[in-house]
């Protein structure tokens, strides 16, 4: 499936139709994290077999469609290090945080918490579902 997605992304980006960021509530970058776009998310999925993808959205948003393999962990449920450690025990393992995009801000908050708890391989998909959906990339629904 991700080979198809990668091919689709190549066409979309080559055509110059990539999503552009707008000023909003969440930052595009977080100190200590690597900001990725949709192409970067797919590259992580393809190259990091121990990647944990954390969807930081509401149950309704998650159920309506999420990135394949993502585990839902909304930022407001992270009350301590153990909440992230339940999904990502190794602080050096790659972890990806995403939400609905720059207008949401939940992934930014969750990524900042993970960095504060000592996670060193944090990836932040700032544009999140806004970009993912605009590119027509596949979603898993319940």
The string of pLDDT tens digits covering residues 71-116 is 999 999 999 999 999 999 999 999 999 999 999 999 999 999 999 9
Domain 2-134: CATH superfamily is Rhodanese-like domain (3.40.250.10)
Count CB atoms within 10 A of the CB of residue 10: 11
Of 9-13, 78-82, 122-126, the least confident: 9-13
Domain boundaries, the chain: 2-134
What is the model's pTM?
Answer: 0.84
Question: Which class for 137: exposed (0-12), middle (13-18), buried (19 or more C-beta within 10 A)?
Answer: buried
DSSP-derived 3-state class of residue 34: strand
Scored b (16 or more CB within 10 A) or e, 40-51 reads ebbebbeeeeeb
The string of pLDDT tens digits covering residues 15-50 is 333 433 333 588 999 999 999 999 999 999 999 999
């Amino acid at each position: 499936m991700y080979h198809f997605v990668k091919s689709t992304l190549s066409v979309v980006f080559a055509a110059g139709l990539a999503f552009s960021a707008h000023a909003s509530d969440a930052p595009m970058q977080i100190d200590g994290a690597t900001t990725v776009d949709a192409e970067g998310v797919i590259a992580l999925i393809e190259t990091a077999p121990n990647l944990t993808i954390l969807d930081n959205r509401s149950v309704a948003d998650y159920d309506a469609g999420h990135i394949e393999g993502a585990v839902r962990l909304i930022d407001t449920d992270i009350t301590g290090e153990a909440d992230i450690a339940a999904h990502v025990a190794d602080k050096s393992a790659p972890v990806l945080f995403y939400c609905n995009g720059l207008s949401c801000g939940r992934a930014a908050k969750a990524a900042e918490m993970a960095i504060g708890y000592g996670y060193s391989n944090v990836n932040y998909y700032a544009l999140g579902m806004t970009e993912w959906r605009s590119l027509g990339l596949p979603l898993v629904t319940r």
